[in-house]
Amino acid sequence: MNGMRGWLQRLLAVVLLVTGLAHAAPVADYVLGAGDTIRISVYQNPDLTLETRVNDGGSISYPLLGDVKLSGLSVSAAEKKLASGLRDGNFLKQPQVSILVMQVRANQVSVLGQVNRPGRYPLEAGATRLSEVLAQAGGIIAIAGSDMVVVSGKRDGKAFRKEIDFPQVFAASGTVDDFPLENGDAIWVDRAPMVYIYGEVQRPGPMRLERDMSILQALASAGGLTLRGTERGVRVNRRDAAGQVQVLQPGLNDKLQPNDIVYIKESLF
């Protein structure tokens, strides 16, 4: 259990390092939008250097060119548009324009739930993936489960919801789930499901429910039986879909479900 959490945290730390290195490089495919702050430089023309914000209409006011709409253009396309304007207006013969995104405000996603730094995070590249955004949020915390949900109200014009088993993102066939996020997406990281065990066990109390955990595995995680405990007659209280509590007598290899309450009886002999 602790090994799985530690593995996930170490893996996210590696992703965070890689993400940081990637962000240090110029990103030409980021699509500009309203609210972004950019710095424009023209080679050998320092008087045309400008740091400005893309206004709500998606435009900037640039020397010699006036209002120029940049919203919806990638950084490289915006550089070409400004260069063409300077060249076609006979202001410069061969302008070399570069744009640096100083602050991202237009393209963001929300990370909520059991992460170290919940909040809104920028999509600084055209293909920022789920694992990269989780790394920006500092990774998941100890009480987080492995399941998470990505929702959006406007993915391809339709409501979007995808449930993800996060450890499978890094499995051999898990690349499909580590998909690029889009502006407005929200990631929800839920708490890990719990079960509760009491009676004649060494460490009674709440316990994190691992995937496909059996009653026997739960007993082992609770330190095993006390000297007076017995594996016979184990009781499980389980709430059904209607909210009614059922008392079950499962086998030791049966799987537990979230919020099950396991009772270990005292041996009569």
Whether 228 and 198 share a structural domain: yes
Domain count, the chain: 3
Q: CATH no. for residue 254?
A: 3.10.560.10
- Evaluated on CA atoms 112, 116, 120, 126, the torsion sign reads negative
Domain assignment of residue 26, yes or no: no
pLDDT in the model for residue 269: 63
In angstroms, rounded to a whole number, what is the distance separating the alpha carbons of residues 4 and 269? Answer: 39
Identify the pLDDT of residue 19: 42
Tokens of 79: 């550089």
Give the span between the Cα atoms of 11 and 140, in whole angstroms: 11
Contact between 130 and 164 under an 8 Å Cβ cutoff? The reply is yes
Mean pLDDT, to the nearest integer, of 29-52?
A: 93
Mean pLDDT of all residues in 64-82 = 94
**Which CA distances in Å does 193 have to 5, 151, 204, 213, 258?**
14, 21, 17, 11, 5
Residue 30 has, within 13 A of its CA and on its CB side, a CA count of: 28
* pLDDT greater at residue 93 or residue 28: 93
- 89 and 151 inside one domain: no
In a domain, 168, yes or no: yes
| Residue 11 maps to a domain | no
pTM of the model: 0.67
Q: Please classify residue 150 by burial: count the beta carbons closer than 10 Å to its beta carbon, then call 0-12 exposed, 13-18 middle and 19+ buried.
A: buried
Domain finish residue from 156, 174, 191 = 191
Residue 6: inside a domain = no
- Containing structural domain, residue 184: 107-191
Q: Which tokens in the block code for residue 186? A: 């929200």
Confidence of residue 21 (pLDDT cuts 50, 70, 90): very low
- Of 59, 75, 103, the residue that ends a domain is 103
Given a cut of 70, whether residue 24 has pLDDT beyond it is no
Task: Note whether 202 and 234 are same-domain residues.
Answer: yes
Residue 245 within a domain:
yes
**Residue of higher predicted confidence among 79 and 174:** 79
> At residue 197, what is the residue type?
I
Give the up-direction half-sphere exposure of residue 261: CA atoms within 13 A in the CB hemisphere.
9
Percent of the chain with pLDDT over 70: 87
140 within some domain: yes
pLDDT in tens, 140-195: 998 898 889 999 877 777 889 999 888 877 776 555 678 888 888 999 999 999 99
In this prediction, residue 16 has a pLDDT band, given cuts at 50, 70 and 90, of very low
Contacts of 27 (CB under 8 A, 6+ apart): 75, 101, 124, 125, 126
pLDDT tens digits for range 101-115 = 998 888 889 999 999
Domain end point (choices 191, 216, 241): 191
**Strand 144-155 relative to strand 158-165: parallel, antiparallel, unpaired?**
antiparallel
Asked if 45 and 97 sit in the same domain, the reply is yes
Q: Answer yes or no: is 174 within a domain.
A: yes
Report the pLDDT averaged over residues 132-145.
91
**Paired residues of 100 in beta bridges:** 39
Q: Is residue 161 part of a domain?
A: yes
Residue 25 is predicted with a pLDDT of 37
What element of type H or E holds 39? strand 37-42
pLDDT > 60? residue 222: yes
Query: What is the rounded distance in angstroms from the CA atom of residue 89 to the CA atom of residue 65?
Result: 8
- In this structure, the chain runs to a length of 269
